Structure 1
Amino acid sequence: MILVCKQTMANHIPKKQHEFLINTSMEVAKEHFKQKNYARAIEALRIPLKRIPKQVTKDVINMMLELLLINERYSECLDIFTQFCGFSFDVSVTEEQSIIVNSYIIPEKLQVDLKMKFIICLVRLRSCNLITNLIDGVLLEDDVEVVGDLYLDVVEALMQMCYPQEAIKLLVPLVKSKNYSLAGVWLKYAECLATCQMPDQAVEAYFTVMALAPSHVEVLYPLAMLLLQQNKKKEALEVLSQDLSSNKLDVAVLIEQMKLLKQINDWDNYWKSVELLLSRHCVVLKNPEELKIVLTQATIREKMVKLRKMRNFRSEHTEIEASFVSIREPTIEEEYRIYKEILQLAKDRGEYSFLQKFAFMGLCSKRFPKYFDEIFLIAFYSCVFNKDYYHGYTIIRDLIIKYPENNLCWNWFTLITQASDDIRHSRFLERYQDKLPAEHRGLIVANYDLSVGNYVFCLNYFMKEFKKTKSAFSAFMLGVVMLQLYSQRFMNRTKKKVMAETTTYLFLNYSKIRGLHAPQEAYYNLGRMYHQLGIMYLAEYYYKKVFKVNNDFLEDYPEVLCLKREAAYNLHHIYRNNGNLVAARNVLMEHIVV
């Protein structure tokens, strides 16, 4: 409100008190500038420019031009140059409403700061044909030791607008000067040289930056990439290498080294660097027993104690925690983002053992405790990818206990138990039956019994469900159980005939209901049912009907849910077993071969 009041006051100060008016407006504008509220700063400076145009000072004009350049209001800059600085322009406007300065007349003895702002304005307007003479004039007339900061403003604009050749003209005197031969200036010089395809000079400039400011980590990666372009792989790696004998690890340099190793596809050293990066706050796990320890819901300290006891028992005297000192560490959020990128890279490259190793290391991290749940889930997926169903089962069991209502967890549980060789899940289900969701308890247990071949319970459960709901699912599952019983050897012919009739009835009932929503699925399952019953002409009939149905009506994943290839594969088996190899080959060529 103070600024609002002062700006209102500036609008009512008598014009005779022009100094007070200018000072008040400048004070408001500077405060808005500090708060990066540039639009309001421009409004404040417009007051003296409109009310007392003949009394405004160079300071007001300079600040106004700077604000307009920041806000990319270049046409207004040209108005200021014309009205208050004595410029004249020949300007044209394109169809895209962009301004082109064709020519200009510049006043003599113009202040250097105004001249520099005019050059920046031309650079922003991409009037490159007018820039060269102005820059040459600046180099001849103005001492770099005095106005070097203005040189830097122009260099910044030239680099942003991709005029590196012109920027080099100003950077050369800057790096040779006494006052401005600093690391930041040398860095801009090196970037310009690299852009201008002058790699040897750019490498020398980058090394100068490293000598002037050893903490300039961002220099290392572009320097290493330049050395790589010159086929100096060894030198590039040396730039980013560290001597750990000093018991210090520069984390920022290590991250840059990982970027380089990834760029040159040196994956062995990349994974070693990842392990070193994580070892600062994670335990480098050595054997499967340690994986089991980090999966527990214990605190990090308790896990450390258990891991230390485990290694002492094995007579392994390797340190649990890193002994070196880390410097220049990223924030927890930045490192977690890098950590997830590493896991994604391991997954994309099919390096599932490294994916699992690093995911499990993250479970005992001192820096990532608040991300434990997400890492725990990633660890489960890593087990699935790496086919480690033993530890995958441990994770999914804990997730089911925590989220018993989550269908996805139960789906993963089923897939893990089907893939694993042990029967731990049977004991878990027996103990956990009473805690299962009441509405799903029977279905979960029936599904388990179906997988282990206990068909009696399944039959009773799905029979009750079918009588109660008459749903497509219950009819289908009951038909599947009956089909399994039909396929057993000890069944006599009479019972087999009855079961075949019952199975056919159930599948037809299922297809009648399900066919309204998913006809392709219904035809495919009917074909499979008749195929298993040995009625091949009906199996062929329904498999062929699958080819005539499209899944275009499905909104999600129509191609993934399409069953034409599965039907074609089964149909080709029917033809091949009957000796019709030509028909079998034609089906494969038409529906499966890509």
Structure 2
Amino acid sequence: MDDTPSEPSFSGMKIGEMDREKDLTSKFLSGEMSFADYSNEWYDQDDEEDIDDVDREDLESNILMPTKQRGLKRRRRCLQLSPALLGLMGEANLRFVRGDKETAEKMCHEVIKLAPIAPEPYQTLAQIHENDVEKALQFSLLAAYLSPYDANEWLRLAAISKQRNDVKQEMICYTQAITADPHNIDTHMKRIELLSKLEEIKYPVHNLKVTKVRCYHRIVNCLPPSQSETILKYAKLAATIYHSNNESERVLEVMTTAYKKCASAFTMEDINIFLEILIAQKKFQTCLEIFVADVGVEIEAEIQTIKNPDGSIHEHTNYVKCSIPNGLPIDLKSKLLVCFIYLEATNLVKTLLDDFLSNDVEKTGDLYMDIEEALSAVGHHEMAMQLLDPLVQNNSFDLGAVWLKHAECLYNLGREDDAIESYYKVLKHAPRHAEAHKRLFEILEKKGRIDEALKTLQQDYRDVVSAKLLHDQCVALKKYNRMLKYLEVGEALLSKTFVKFRRPEEFSLAYNKPKAGIDLIYEFRTMRGEKPYHEDDLHFDEEENFKLSSQEEWSLFVELLNIACEHKQYFTMQRLAFGGIMSKNILSHRLEIEFFCLQACLIRNDYQNAFRFIREFAQKYPGPRSWNLLNLVINSVEENTHSKFLSRLFQKDYHVVKSLFLGNNFLASGRYLVALKYFLEYHDQCREPLSALLIAITILVMAAQRTFDKHHNLILQGMSYLMTYKKLRRCDQETYYNMGRAFQMFSINNLAIEYYERALACTSVTVCDKHGCVDLTRETAFNLYILYKDHAPDIARKYILKYLVIE
């Protein structure tokens, strides 16, 4: 007998598909993939058979895939062997029965090579390896998967998988068993029971791709109408879960399926729930059909043909008469009324509404709200007011939501004065309602009550704050030029992304690591035993999606800084500038923000923090402007320990100004010899009057110290440099004044008076268009007054009256 058959011919099978099937099968048999992965790869679908595969022609008008095509997709895995391969399989089974297992196994593998998705060889191989549980299970799973559906076989394999503690495989087996026999409720229950046990032990059930709600939905779809009680039970369970997950379409699907299968089992309560679902999905016509079929409502209608302006024709249903059975529950009456409202049956609505208004508001207030919402939605505001007026007059419904409906209805009716009062009622009950704030502002603004309108936008910062409302308030305040209030509200809005610093250490963390600064600050506060958030921090509504764009936040930030500076709110200016360091939204403007911080620090005389910024600017942008600012800050801070920084600053690109900086630093710290060294170096390279004056001052200060010898020589040297300064400066008033000060310091009063008199006789130092006249006359006169007051008070008084009296 020839064991090599001819190549089989499978209709619809391509060579590429055959190769893929062979590859997948070999991977599964070799243990490279699990059965779950194997089935997913083969059919490209989840372990859980999609509930959408159930025919829903009765539920939807357009179907994504015809039923016949879906059936073909499921049946394609069961292929018939060619006669030659059937003969080979018969021979393999005969060899197995005779005990020649080795030859039988070889024949089976030969068939698998030619037909990898035929079930027969796997069935035989499972019997051959019955003593090897692992291999037998693998072949049985493949055989079952490729065979026509056999529910009992899948249940047997599920039991084996359970013994092996293979949860995922067990779930697949139950799912396949349900597919084979969908009407067997016991199989459905076993799968749900397995899910419940897994949830109890906190197993990650999401990996199984099966959920309880899908199981419930599957039961509703699969069971026959004869099991109406079970269908209705699980339809309600599925609808509850779908509703909690906001899957409204699924809620409608499962309840519609249950209704079509067992409408007679629906109680009035069930029908009420189903109608509520239909109304939520705007299926008003379907609701009327249910009212007629199951509730006993009689409706007369006529079809009208209407011609549109464009020439097209459409049909409109005109509802003429409605008869309601006695004793119909009030909630069903309200739903019938809602349906007629949306279907524009105006005459019936008026009749039914008059009947409905006879009911007690205390008991049926919620239904009043449902009907009012429908009336307002279609523009019947007058009728809506008939429902709202009784509600707001009832203490049980004195609520913000009711007053909001009342206010909106009044506004739509054009009764703006009454609407204002109702909106105030809304804010009394719900102070955080942003839309009520905004609408009230618009009405008051329209009436010209601007101050009152602006007050309505104000929020209580102790409560949760709306960022959108803060932005609207900013726009309004800017529009009416209320700049200080605009500054306050704008800062509150920016605080959503800005951080208020409590300590210098926090600012250091934020400055050095801006991207992770906020997290580091919160960790720092936690380590200190503090709360990460301050009790005065604003708490924004986390459910609100409003957010300023990067450009909007930057524009607002710069504008607020300018306003704070113009109105001399320097502390606010500095707080804003420091807060901008932390905002990730404007991180691209980091360099400009740092410069704003420097300006704010200089204006507030906060030189300690100013030094943090100017040292960065001096390194990045060396030049006269940076050096002048650096010198201003260094001379203003209390500590003079900047010599190392100054040395590093000019280490890369040497500049002679380094000597001037270091000389000033050492002079201020009392190290006069070192200062004199640097001043002399600078003077050798730049013979400027400033360097000569600094040298003279340093030498004269040394001469005044007891720790130095040869005071006379030092005084002579100092005066010599003062004369050099006088020649280089060429400004008589200034030089005479400085020389007079030097002589006064050493109590050489006759020379001091002589030079002061010369200074008084000179013209002013300079005249500047921006700063006015720079004149030392008053300073000179005051020093002369000091020299004369003890020994010649009349002369001292003369200088006071001539130069220092403001007329």
TM normalised by structure 2 equals: 0.41
Please point out which of 602, 607, 620 is paired with 1:389: 607
Please point out which of 282, 288, 309 is paired with 2:498: 282
Aligned to 1:409: 626
Aligned to 2:689: 472
Residue 417 of structure 1 and its aligned partner are, at CA, apart by: 2.9
Tell me the distance in 2 between the aligned counterparts of 1:225 and 1:564. 62
Tell me the distance in 2 between the aligned counterparts of 1:467 and 1:452. 23
SS at match of 2:468: strand
Residue 470 of structure 1 and its aligned partner are, at CA, apart by: 4.4
Tell me the distance in 1 between the aligned counterparts of 2:440 and 2:799. 61
Written as runs of structure 1 = structure 2, the 5 A alignment for 1:174-323 is 223=445, 226-227=448-449, 236-241=454-459, 245=464, 249-256=468-475, 258-259=477-478, 263=482, 273-296=489-512, 298=513, 300-314=514-528, 315-318=530-533
Aligned to 1:138: none
> Residues 282 and 364 of structure 1 are in contact (CA less than 8 Å); yes or no, is this contact kept in structure 2?
yes
Identity over aligned residues, as a percent? 22
Residue 397 of structure 1 and its aligned partner are, at CA, apart by: 2.0
| Structure of greater Rg | 2
> Residues 356 and 379 of structure 1 are in contact (CA less than 8 Å); yes or no, is this contact kept in structure 2?
yes
| One-letter amino acid of the structure 2 residue matched with residue 250 of structure 1 | L
Written as runs of structure 1 = structure 2, the 5 A alignment for 1:87-102 is none
Residue 242 of structure 1 and its aligned partner are, at CA, apart by: 7.4
Residue 529 of structure 1 and its aligned partner are, at CA, apart by: 1.9
Tell me the distance in 2 between the aligned counterparts of 1:469 and 1:252. 57
Residue 534 of structure 1 and its aligned partner are, at CA, apart by: 2.0
Aligned to 1:425: 642
Tell me the distance in 1 between the aligned counterparts of 2:737 and 2:797. 18
Deviations 1:152-188 (Å, cap 9, x if unpaired)? xxxxxxxxxxxxxxxxxxxxxxxxxxxxxxxxxxxxx
> Residues 303 and 364 of structure 1 are in contact (CA less than 8 Å); yes or no, is this contact kept in structure 2?
yes
Aligned to 2:751: 538
Residue 358 of structure 1 and its aligned partner are, at CA, apart by: 1.0
Relative distance call for 1:277 and 1:472 in structure 2 (3 A) is same
Relative distance call for 1:365 and 1:503 in structure 2 (3 A) is same
Written as runs of structure 1 = structure 2, the 5 A alignment for 1:4-43 is none
Residue 316 of structure 1 and its aligned partner are, at CA, apart by: 1.4
Tell me the distance in 2 between the aligned counterparts of 1:290 and 1:246. 26
Aligned to 2:617: 399
Tell me the distance in 1 between the aligned counterparts of 2:583 and 2:801. 52
| One-letter amino acid of the structure 2 residue matched with residue 312 of structure 1 | T
Residue 531 of structure 1 and its aligned partner are, at CA, apart by: 2.0
> Residues 520 and 549 of structure 1 are in contact (CA less than 8 Å); yes or no, is this contact kept in structure 2?
yes
Residue 407 of structure 1 and its aligned partner are, at CA, apart by: 2.5
Please point out which of 702, 719, 734 is paired with 1:504: 719
| One-letter amino acid of the structure 1 residue matched with residue 517 of structure 2 | K
> Residues 459 and 465 of structure 2 are in contact (CA less than 8 Å); yes or no, is this contact kept in structure 1?
no
Tell me the distance in 1 between the aligned counterparts of 2:635 and 2:447. 49
Aligned to 2:701: 484
Mind listing any 5+ residue stretches in structure 2 that lack a counterpart? Answer: 1-415, 425-434
Tell me the distance in 1 between the aligned counterparts of 2:662 and 2:794. 44
Aligned to 1:74: none
Deviations 1:32-82 (Å, cap 9, x if unpaired)? xxxxxxxxxxxxxxxxxxxxxxxxxxxxxxxxxxxxxxxxxxxxxxxxxxx
Relative distance call for 1:465 and 1:370 in structure 2 (3 A) is closer
Relative distance call for 1:317 and 1:441 in structure 2 (3 A) is closer
> Residues 247 and 325 of structure 1 are in contact (CA less than 8 Å); yes or no, is this contact kept in structure 2?
no
Residue 537 of structure 1 and its aligned partner are, at CA, apart by: 3.1
Mind listing any 5+ residue stretches in structure 1 that lack a counterpart? Answer: 1-202
> Residues 359 and 375 of structure 1 are in contact (CA less than 8 Å); yes or no, is this contact kept in structure 2?
yes
> Residues 462 and 477 of structure 1 are in contact (CA less than 8 Å); yes or no, is this contact kept in structure 2?
yes
Please point out which of 493, 515, 521 is paired with 2:734: 521
Tell me the distance in 2 between the aligned counterparts of 1:280 and 1:471. 53
Residue 349 of structure 1 and its aligned partner are, at CA, apart by: 4.1
Tell me the distance in 2 between the aligned counterparts of 1:585 and 1:223. 66
> Residues 224 and 239 of structure 1 are in contact (CA less than 8 Å); yes or no, is this contact kept in structure 2?
no
Written as runs of structure 1 = structure 2, the 5 A alignment for 1:116-155 is none
Tell me the distance in 2 between the aligned counterparts of 1:383 and 1:534. 40
Tell me the distance in 2 between the aligned counterparts of 1:573 and 1:326. 70
> Residues 766 and 773 of structure 2 are in contact (CA less than 8 Å); yes or no, is this contact kept in structure 1?
no
Residue 372 of structure 1 and its aligned partner are, at CA, apart by: 1.7
Deviations 1:475-497 (Å, cap 9, x if unpaired)? 222111111112113455xx222
| One-letter amino acid of the structure 2 residue matched with residue 498 of structure 1 | N
SS at match of 2:576: helix
- Give the length in aligned residue pairs: 377
Residue 555 of structure 1 and its aligned partner are, at CA, apart by: 4.7
Aligned to 1:454: 671
Tell me the distance in 2 between the aligned counterparts of 1:483 and 1:326. 70
Residue 373 of structure 1 and its aligned partner are, at CA, apart by: 1.4
Residue 255 of structure 1 and its aligned partner are, at CA, apart by: 0.5
Tell me the distance in 1 between the aligned counterparts of 2:762 and 2:439. 61
Tell me the distance in 2 between the aligned counterparts of 1:551 and 1:485. 31
Aligned to 2:595: 377
Relative distance call for 1:331 and 1:247 in structure 2 (3 A) is closer
> Residues 568 and 587 of structure 1 are in contact (CA less than 8 Å); yes or no, is this contact kept in structure 2?
yes
Tell me the distance in 1 between the aligned counterparts of 2:763 and 2:418. 64
Deviations 1:485-536 (Å, cap 9, x if unpaired)? 12113455xx222222222222122112211xx3332222222222223222
Relative distance call for 1:557 and 1:445 in structure 2 (3 A) is same
Relative distance call for 1:475 and 1:430 in structure 2 (3 A) is closer
SS at match of 1:301: coil
Aligned to 2:386: none
Relative distance call for 1:242 and 1:256 in structure 2 (3 A) is farther
> Residues 400 and 410 of structure 1 are in contact (CA less than 8 Å); yes or no, is this contact kept in structure 2?
yes
Tell me the distance in 2 between the aligned counterparts of 1:217 and 1:520. 69
Question: Which deviates further from its counterpart, 522-531 or 579-588?
Answer: 579-588
Tell me the distance in 1 between the aligned counterparts of 2:467 and 2:558. 25
Tell me the distance in 1 between the aligned counterparts of 2:483 and 2:681. 63
Aligned to 1:344: 562
Residue 361 of structure 1 and its aligned partner are, at CA, apart by: 0.3
TM normalised by structure 1 equals: 0.54
Tell me the distance in 2 between the aligned counterparts of 1:442 and 1:423. 16
Tell me the distance in 1 between the aligned counterparts of 2:585 and 2:714. 61
> Residues 224 and 240 of structure 1 are in contact (CA less than 8 Å); yes or no, is this contact kept in structure 2?
no
Tell me the distance in 2 between the aligned counterparts of 1:259 and 1:441. 48
Relative distance call for 1:371 and 1:578 in structure 2 (3 A) is farther
Deviations 1:214-245 (Å, cap 9, x if unpaired)? 8989975993995467xx6xx64124547964
Aligned to 2:571: 353
Question: Which deviates further from its counterpart, 436-445 or 327-336?
Answer: 327-336
Matched, 1:441 2:658: yes
> Residues 734 and 765 of structure 2 are in contact (CA less than 8 Å); yes or no, is this contact kept in structure 1?
no
Relative distance call for 1:324 and 1:570 in structure 2 (3 A) is farther
> Residues 581 and 593 of structure 2 are in contact (CA less than 8 Å); yes or no, is this contact kept in structure 1?
yes
Deviations 1:437-482 (Å, cap 9, x if unpaired)? 3433322222211121211123233345545654423322211111
> Residues 524 and 543 of structure 1 are in contact (CA less than 8 Å); yes or no, is this contact kept in structure 2?
yes
For CA contacts below 8 A with separation 6 or more, give which structure has more relative contact order.
Answer: 1
